[in-house]
Structure 1
Amino acid sequence: MSYAEESEGVTGAKTPRLLDQVRARLRLKHYSLRTEQAYVGWIRRFILANEKRHPRDMGIAEVEGFLSALATRNQVAAGTQNQALSALLFLYREVLSIELPWMETVVRAKRPQRVPVVLSRDEVTRLLVMLEGCFGLMASLLYGSGMRLMECVRLRVKDVDFGLNQICVRDGKGGKDRHVPLPRRLCDSLRTQLDRVAVIHHQDLAEGHGAVWLPHALARKYPSAPREPGWQYVFPSGQLSRDPRGGELRRHHVDESGLQRAVRAARLKAGIAKPATCHTLRHSFATHLLEAGQDIRTIQELLGHKNIATTQIYTHVLNRGGHGVLSPLDR
């Protein structure tokens, strides 16, 4: 019987398949759905690359061989290789309960230090002018608040505070909450968007739907919360869909790929040669604040960076490694 098949023990109870055990452990530890999909994918690839042998029967030779093949044959980025290693570490430690000291000696690929792509103020203006409707509002929020793409996509109605002109980002990277500025010039457009959300939600309720997904079992603790207006997404999907975990039919947030395609099309229309993406607007937000004289500690808090060294990369963008540098040709 294959490791991937269910087996029955002496008691007649079925043993879950290995990948189902991985999923269950990831959900128990509150990993995101995207991390779950990535880890399960890497573990499956690792097993298939070794002729479907059970991971218990493999060791450092197979792990290093798999990671080396990713770098040499597949030529993946350092971050991708490290993600694969993290998935295998999780498999052995958390699922199989096997402590393997040799896993500590596996060499992690070093991520090269890259200077982020940043748009000038004029380029940001040209880009945003090319975007309309919901995607135009979302892109403006990315630049005006410094939110990450998925933080914007997952934004809830209750977390927009017009009175204090701020947005509360819930459960950001690293599971942290933080506040970011709400640009005043976007308030009218955002109110119009929330009115649209209210209409959609009312229609969903009338049709027997209207319950949104809530994290960390909040739906069981507060049974009425999923149908409350405040928990609805600011940018809802245009159609109902099945929850990939529970199977419930509900309205989720808009797919981020739509905004990514819209930003790419707008960049080409605006004639911007830089490889700008949605994340470039976040880089531009931080760089332009630093350029305007904002202190780096405040920018670190707004971006939600754990380490100040991550934020200091923007000083290199401005060529301010402690002091400005003027080219001798300009003297």
Structure 2
Amino acid sequence: MDAQSRPPKLMDRVKATMRVKRYSPRTEKTYCYWIRYFIRYHGVRHPASMGAPELKAFLEHLAVERHVAAATQNQALNAIVFLYRHVLEQKLGEIGEFSHARRPRRLPVVLSHQEVMRVLSHLSGPMHLMGNLMYGSGLRLIETCRLRVRDIDFDRQIITVRAGKGDKDRTTLLPASCVPALQHQITLAQQQLSSRLHHGCVPVSLPHALDRKYPNAGVSLAWQWLFPASRPCFDDSGKTVLHHIHPSAVQKAVKSAMKAASLPRPGSCHTLRHSFATQLLVQGTDIRTLQELLGHKSIETTQIYTHVLGNGFAGVRSPLG
């Protein structure tokens, strides 16, 4: 049997299926990790020869021996279910009862406005703007990294978040104080694009084969990353492209700024988004509007911020006054 007639390998089928269904690159990487782990755990047996009992044993292993978090165990479960349902097209059967990883309920760390300002004062250049957007617009870290020129609407003062969590689009606030820095960042994107066109025409990475539908999109200003990586890389097809800044670089800068600000509580990039939510609630923003701005699927996720503020007790006062 030659290479062309040979059936595709399992992991190639997994990746192809995820791309057809438009899963994000991060989800693809995560699911592939758990599927490989599941196969290795069971002695490199093919998943088609396994089923619910093997999945149950794997989930037990993660909870009891690996002590993973509940979200991690659920992530592994979702990956294996995806494999059987969409790739192997094979019924998994009833998993039955298994040891669930503990899901502790913890309130998010939030900062006061003054504390956030102290943190932001220790950031500079694009990192300062990215910190401002996570706090001023409530963006997730990866959403900030993925912003393109076309996502900024100065006239309506909104930012469009495209293919956010759950592959959903939404709009959120564009802080007026960020306008000059955003305009400067777009000017830099224009200058960098002109330089790349002059020296070899390296396009930006595009979603879901958009470059085939719009061949010039990768070298148009609208599709340029606001926060590009420092150097080009190769995409899955081996083509040289310019990707956005890696989230780890932003995490490192924000962590350093948090430390320099001498905060009483540890924080992260997501702390800036949490602080956005609590500040809007303090200002009287209704919970439904906040849910839309944050892009939460469930109102229960948004309501956690009312508990952070102590507003979840329907006006009940302590007997001590």
After superposing the two structures, state which structure 1 stretch, 279-288 or 106-115, moved more. Answer: 106-115
Q: Is structure 2 residue 297 aligned with structure 1 residue 299?
A: no
Is the 2:122–2:260 Cα contact (8 Å) retained in structure 1?
A: yes
Q: Hey, what does 2:255 align to over in structure 1? A: 264
Letter in 2 for 1:43: I
Instruction: Report deviation, 1:303.
Output: 0.6
Partner of 1:39: 31
Q: Provide the C-alpha distance between the structure 2 equivalents of 1:199 and 1:321, rounded to a whole number of angstroms.
A: 50
Query: d(CA) in 2 for partners of 1:171 and 1:214?
Result: 12
Q: How far off its partner does 1:107 sit?
A: 6.6
Residue ranges of structure 2 left out of the alignment (5+ in a row): none
User: Is residue 60–residue 99 contact of structure 2 (8 Å, CA) maintained in 1?
Assistant: no
Residues 174-212 of structure 1 deviation map (CA, whole Å, 9 limit, x = unaligned): 222111111111111111111111111111111122422
- Determine whether 1:152 maps to 2:144: yes
Q: Are 2:299 and 1:308 equivalent residues in the alignment? A: yes
* Conserved 8 A contact 1:319-1:325: no
**Structure 1 residue 241 corresponds to structure 2 residue 230:** no
Please give the alpha-carbon distance, in whole angstroms, between the structure 2 residues aligned to 1:158 and 1:246. 25
Given the two structures, how large is their TM-score scaled by the length of structure 2?
0.94
Deviates more, 1:126-135 or 1:320-329: 320-329
Deviation at 1:36, TM superposition (A): 1.1
1:113 counterpart letter in structure 2: R
Question: Does the aligned pair in 1 maintain the 2:19–2:208 contact within 8 Å?
Answer: no
5 Å-filtered alignment, 1:33-72, equals 33-72=25-64
Shift, 1:109, TM fit:
4.5
CA distance in structure 2 between the partners assigned to 1:179 and 1:160 by the alignment: 10
Matched residue SS, 1:299: helix
2:224 to 232, 241, 244: 232
Percent of aligned positions that are identical: 49
Q: Distance in 2 between matches of 1:324 and 1:121?
A: 24
- CA RMSD of the aligned region, Å? 1.9
Equivalents in 1 of 2:162, 2:96: separation in Å? 33
1:160 CA drift (Å): 0.6
Stretches (4+) displaced over 4 A:
104-110, 324-329
Q: Name the stretch that deviates more: 17-26 or 227-236.
A: 17-26
The question of whether the paired residues in 1 share the 8 Å contact of 2:81 and 2:92 is answered with no
Q: Secondary structure at the match of 2:166?
A: helix
TM-superposition CA deviations, 1:141-189 (whole Å, max 9, x none): 1000001111110001011111121111111112221111111111111
- Map 1:1-331 onto structure 2 (within 5 A): 8=1, 13-103=5-95, 109=101, 111-243=103-235, 245-324=236-315, 326-328=317-319, 331=321
The count of corresponding residues between Structure 1 and Structure 2 is: 321
Distance 1:283 1:31 in 2: 26
Q: Structure 1 residue 25: deviation in Å?
A: 1.3
Q: TM-score, normalised by structure 1?
A: 0.92
State the distance in 2 between where 1:254 and 1:101 align. 42
